[in-house]
A and B are shown apart, each in its own frame.
Chain A
């Protein structure tokens, strides 16, 4: 069920032929290359480009799942120009006779290596075939390290929570590849690094939870400094990876039983928690040790630190809140008032950790399960910068956590884990373009080059980024700047090209290089604006703009961001709308732009930009996922999809509007984070009356079942597992639905609309209608 497509179909009747063509083009491109541009025809001058309002940018999914893509067992051919090093691709001109190829980025002519001597027009290597605009090379050299999973487990949990977590962890051992190295760190008041290769006695290294340690100190204290004469002094047993840290990280197949027992014996943190206090939780130090341990033992090898925490860090570096229960954890209100004592320090601590982890290509996952906040706001950078996951649930004893966690280890059709490590993404452009930045779960590698723009959008100033943990859906927004001057027109038919080179460690621990090369036509914005307009991808643009907005929101005040967004929207409408000055009613947008304002309306109301009603942790969580998901998921997040089930016909998508809430309907809403099934008033009454149990109402039973089945389908594939909510008219959980729908009916305009048409929402928020009216007014206003 691809909702987005549905929406598009919805609009399809009106779409013109060109548009249909573009939609297909876009879809194909997305499927083949995992890329969506905001503009599929590029304005050819810098000036024009800036006037387009929405920047030239793309959403790029580096590891887009391509089951059909054969791995190429040799290494890519690179352009010999040192500043270029672009990979040979289908866009290059090849002189088969001279065995030369011309780099399409720098126009360097390169000699083919002898191994390509058999090349000819009829005998082309894969990388020259147009269908391999995305191609994956498998690097043969270099030893392949096994995957590493380091569990960092909070023990300050309630008994049943801990039990559930222990079971999940034990279960996870069976999901890991047998040769994967696994390690365990537990923490509470102290931090324990467990040694795994011991029989008869379980050993652990204990650290104070209040003291930050440098990598060197950790290394010394764990006895990793010198050859394994360490504390135990046992002669190192020969195993596959006789690494120094073998005591702490062991192949799953070897210590499967041991670790299962060890996990089974894990006790709650034994230190007493006095009345009115929070347990002392040394998350900061635990993470620091985890990072330090991997840093010294497995630099530049894919590794996953998985942090399981049930509450906020309360002591030591990285503490988020004191242990006094009477001082609540910071709220948005506190933060605005600059009243969050620990925020800056803690954030700094975790950012430093994240930086260290990224240097070595390790990623950090956070599984935070607690009814209260757990300090995700501070911790988020660990995942955001390293490409780790964040999962948030009320308890470890929920299917939400259990399944989410399980899904981390899901496998692709080929039987590979859907995870990759230590990727570096390099972007090369033709000379008319420069790279302004990237937004996503990545960090800059500070690789300056001629193609790097001085204007930064997102993480800029580089043409290379590191993504320590990524999966097939990990998507980055990459922003460009057209630098071609207005007076240097591009020849007709000229195309701009961009090459993405992603070097990463595959889950099979192979090193791979995926190269995607795309090209788009240039168009003169003055003479060929309609081409550009028609090639506008409003979905991608909405998401890309949203990313920019969220990126700003992380560092700026919420209202400023909204104002900025509004301004952008108005400008876009002014640029591409058709209207008579000062006549709002005359305002029209072409089809390719028609949905965009609506996206923006919902974006403004979304938790990514609104902190009202959300804790800082929740905001961080939502934003984290928004920044890593692909376009489809991102759109769902911006504008949830709503289906309606009734006796009147098959399930249909309906407007996300309070008007869609009708008594005789069942609604299924997917916000990405939640799946809400809402039974209308009548349905709910029937259900309570138990009609579904009666044979003669079999159809009612089926009606009730239908959304459940659909929801199940979504639940099956979604990561992280969404919160599943089954509610009804008047139910308290109905708020999840009511807060999302367009409040077209509120207590303010209730009587004007009549009760039957929907459910009024008790809000002062403006409805889409009001928003649009306002937008039109502003767009046509000559004043702006």
Chain B
């Protein structure tokens, strides 16, 4: 679809109106808007103040903190949080300042200044959460003392990050750094912190103003509000850092853990936290967590003062010492791949940033209150956090998530920091029931109102001028006349009077009804069709697939996607079976029995019938059922083992073409297509290619046939879903190509047996058939001048550089977009992104879904580092790397990833962190999980395959990941490991996850591990018999049948709870996970261990600790 040309059409405002429900609207903005506006204000201010008063707050409840500075109270409140997190660690302060900056920007947005009163309320709300935080903190601190690091992790900043897969190679590269033993020192060197602070503060001179405004407010209120501020964003760490300059001894206290003198400590400090790894050779670990090296000692002394903190710190040293045995720490060279023992000794795993901690902190900090989107550049809660979104002008993070919400103004800055500017967009994401579905706006016959020049759609960022007669585009600044029917007067703030009545003026996400101009060949589309294409060759019959599938289809057809509340689905269905030839079925309702039409001319595929192939399910029910009964019977004795594949897709495509509609093919396929036909493949699997320069061919299609076919499919809106049931190599890389380019899904069930895998397959099929889907879609991402979408990742096809063409797009498909500068951005106006998706709904309606997101721009790198989202970043890296393997061997791909990450971190270290000894590893708070997640990515099967990983599986994963959203990549790379034995039966909550490492498994425990594709229950040998009894219904560990397909249905709380957990987890993931029971020391355990991402992997992936050291080395090299 060309967006161009439609520009002219302005919808009539009125029509849209009616549909639109004012109620909802008002409510939303009523509640949402004002508060949010305030929120931001407070936030920044607090941050600001906090910097001043970091220490006190640490443990103290907000209240305590406030005193120091008048306004500061709020800041103090925050600090406490941070401090707590850090406890011992040295915190760099940067985070807060960011917010400060933001405020000013935000102001323009909020007309609401006037409404201060409202604002106050907000803060108070915020308040509550912080408190709890504060309380928890102390506890945590106590635990964490061991290493500052751990403390850091506790900080709210990062939410759950997922599983990393590490690869050995990485480890090897590490060595250089490592000569020194690793010590996990804790805090950042005090000295550094101060500096940071100062730096940070300076940049924010502007902030004062906001602060000032606040001051006017009653002080009392302030304090709490401060605490509230999105602690997560500004990690506690930063604050401390800032403090330094101030004064504040408190910081020093934190440092209490002095690193051991001699040790070059590695400090990992996020902007906030740092944990240090001391590279110093030979030296033992510094039990104490020091910030920076030199200072280590000094800090401690200071510490004492800090009230609560002190005790913790003191305790810390000891534990650290235990773990860090100086002697054992061999030279730091990671290269050597120190044995597990060694590493353990060197660095306390607890001392390094913990994904679990980050996730849990974010949950507790941000899970309880709604995330309102009124403010520009807000970092949303982590994907692992359960939160409610209120759309107030920016798209929900469920639709769009960015790696950084504050982007550099210039390309130089962007190059310097190497942080990719990227957005992960899921245009049709499913929203939770309590969030409003995007409203549909009808602008009438003239179509949606758009900017004359850049064709951007009407959105909240458009500025109406000249009394509402024109509007200025927020993207290209062009001024466009307002069509008469869309005219509306402006109020005194310059807003249109109908601001709240029109979703396109007040919301971040909404839909336009498209006019006929937006349709192919200027005809409104027909409702789409689903075609089920079933392999009936020997393998498929034998595995029971065909039988199972046909049986299931009978009921499944009742669940075709429906529009809104309509009774009947408009989608028509058709059936094809095939082996070496294709069989079409005429299931016209008037027939007494179905008719089968065999097309054996596979070289030149065509559709043998028109009428009766695609039918309405309800009308043709009887014939369809009769057909589905007969298919398994007809082919029961087949001995045909050869299949075709290309012609199958061609047939579906032709059928859709003939019916003049878009649609989806569900292909159920079992073998490598060896029969003579276009798209015939040969078995080219060659394990020997792994780790060679030719490895990439394994990911490339064998023939260009499927590429061309995909192109044609996309042109006609033919989406292909592929269900594979292979018993051997089927060349997923080639077969999946069309699926990949048409926005389809691919499912693979290796060694499928109806008995064992039926449940998984049927559930997947059910979900796949029923899910929300748009057809024949084109997505266009527009941005404000200065940046440009330059690269796209996901399952789609692009025939030019701007339009993402999708034969279909469903609610699970995500597209990752990378932006690059082509000009300067302006701090004041920020940067806007508008993603417009033109698609055909399941009822055949042509629509445009618009998502808008506004970001802040910065001239200071620190702002950027404070507003990052590691999960999104990882999502981007994965997709980049997985695409990279198409053209490069995996080793350079891995190295590129490491390099870029190292540069990001080095840049932070160089520009934003307080100066400290080179031995310290300082990480930005927002990115403190970058190493662990990156390691998971590097260790993944695609980038570093073990011998047991098949070529097909790698290609399969590669494709899956391409369209994963952030939450999926998160859990996929860092699996969730839940201690089942610790579950609380009385509540619905899950037990707190533990880190993916074998040493964290207890022999007496039962654990559940899931990564979105796999689901394991691991049973320790010493698990109590009664627990085993109540879950597995057997007497003892030895009697547990690891082959069981499902947990027994037992009527006891443990069993119920566990089963409900499994059900809930399955429901959360787009794909059904088959449950595998793994007993400790069983041979299956290898499989399970593969997912313990923090450990060294069997195929050479580095352990978390080793990798961290390696990263440190890389960073140091960059810095030197």
Contacts and interface: CB of A to CB of B under 8 A. Distances in A.
A220 B600 contact: yes
A195 B634 CA distance: 13
A127 B583 CA distance: 59
A229 B599 contact: no
Contacts of A689: none
Contacts of A231: 579-581, 583, 598, 600, 640
Contacts of B580: 231
B608 A190 contact: yes
Nearest to B585: A201
State which size class the interface on A falls in: 20 to 34
Contact of A201 (B601, B612, B627): B627
A200 B630 contact: yes
Interface stretch (A58-66, A205-213, A671-679): A205-213
Nearest to A209: B606
Given A201-B593, A206-B598, A223-B581, A233 B610 contact: no
A234 to B, nearest CB: 6
Given A201-B593, A208-B606, A235 B637 contact: yes
Contact of B596 (A201, A207, A208, A223): A201
Contacts of B637: 233-235
The interface centre, meaning the residue of A198, A204, A211 with most chain B CB atoms within 10 A of its CB, is A204
A364 to B, nearest CB: 23
B603 to A, nearest CB: 9
A265 B639 contact: no
B639 A270 contact: no
Contacts of B608: 190, 192, 206
Nearest to B580: A231
A221 interface: yes
Contacts of A777: none
Contact of A200 (B593, B601, B604, B609): B593
Contacts of B599: 205-207
B596 A204 contact: yes
Given A204-B596, A208-B604, A234-B637, A221 B581 contact: yes
A204 B582 CA distance: 11
A271 B610 contact: yes
Interface string A183-209: 000000010100100101111111110
Contact of B600 (A190, A202, A222): A222
A270 B594 contact: no
Given A206-B608, A221-B581, A233 B635 contact: yes
Contacts of B634: 198, 201, 232
The interface centre, meaning the residue of A190, A206, A222, A265 with most chain B CB atoms within 10 A of its CB, is A206
Interface in A229-284: 229, 231-235, 265, 270-272
Nearest to B598: A205
A233 B630 CA distance: 14
Interface in B502-534: none
Given A192-B608, A231-B583, A233-B637, A201 B600 contact: no
A271 B609 CA distance: 8
The interface centre, meaning the residue of A195, A217, A232 with most chain B CB atoms within 10 A of its CB, is A232
Contacts of A211: 601, 604
A208 to B, nearest CB: 5
Nearest to A207: B601
Interface residue SS majority, chain B: loop
Interface residues of B, number: 32
Contacts of B601: 207-208, 211, 213, 217, 221
B1035 interface: no
Nearest to A193: B598
A203 B598 contact: yes
Interface string A164-196: 000000000000000000000000001010010
Contacts of A265: 591-592, 595
A229 B627 contact: no
A54 B1089 CA distance: 103
Contacts of A229: 639-640
A203 B635 CA distance: 13
B580 to A, nearest CB: 7
A192 B597 contact: yes
Contact of A205 (B593, B600, B611): B600
B728 interface: no
A716 B748 CA distance: 70
Contacts of B626: 200-201
The interface centre, meaning the residue of B584, B627, B639 with most chain A CB atoms within 10 A of its CB, is B639
A605 B1 CA distance: 68
A203 B596 contact: yes
Nearest to A217: B601
Contacts of B596: 198, 201-204
Contacts of A235: 637
Nearest to B631: A201
A223 to B, nearest CB: 7
Interface in A748-778: none
Contact of A270 (B593, B610, B638): B610
A289 to B, nearest CB: 11
B943 to A, nearest CB: 44
The interface centre, meaning the residue of B580, B599, B600, B608 with most chain A CB atoms within 10 A of its CB, is B600
Contacts of B606: 190, 208
A201 B581 contact: no
Nearest to A191: B608
A208 B634 CA distance: 25
B611 A201 contact: no
Contact of A204 (B591, B593, B595, B640): B595
A234 B608 CA distance: 24
A407 B630 CA distance: 41
A203 to B, nearest CB: 4
Contacts of B627: 201
A222 to B, nearest CB: 7
A221 B638 CA distance: 17
Contacts of A220: 600
Contacts of A192: 597, 608
A270 B611 contact: yes
B749 to A, nearest CB: 24
Contacts of B584: 206
Interface in B566-581: 579-581
Interface in B698-750: none
B708 to A, nearest CB: 20
A271 B597 CA distance: 15
A156 to B, nearest CB: 14
A198 B594 CA distance: 12
Interface in A260-315: 265, 270-272
B609 A201 contact: no
B1068 to A, nearest CB: 42
A201 B594 contact: yes
A232 B598 CA distance: 10
A508 B103 CA distance: 103
Contacts of A208: 601, 604, 606
B293 to A, nearest CB: 77
Contact of B638 (A190, A233, A271): A233
A50 to B, nearest CB: 57
Interface in B345-398: none
A542 to B, nearest CB: 52
Given A222-B600, A232-B635, 17 more contacts: A190-B606, A192-B597, A195-B598, A198-B596, A200-B630, A201-B594, A201-B596, A202-B595, A204-B597, A205-B599, A207-B600, A208-B604, A223-B581, A231-B580, A231-B583, A265-B595, A271-B610
Interface of B: 579-581, 583-584, 591-601, 604, 606, 608-612, 626-627, 630, 634-635, 637-640
18 contacts: A190-B608, A195-B598, A198-B596, A200-B630, A201-B630, A203-B583, A204-B595, A205-B599, A206-B584, A207-B599, A207-B601, A208-B606, A221-B581, A232-B635, A233-B635, A234-B637, A265-B592, A270-B611
Please give me the 8 A-B residue pairs with the lowest Cβ-Cβ distance, nearest first: A221-B600, A206-B608, A233-B638, A270-B611, A203-B596, A205-B598, A206-B597, A202-B595
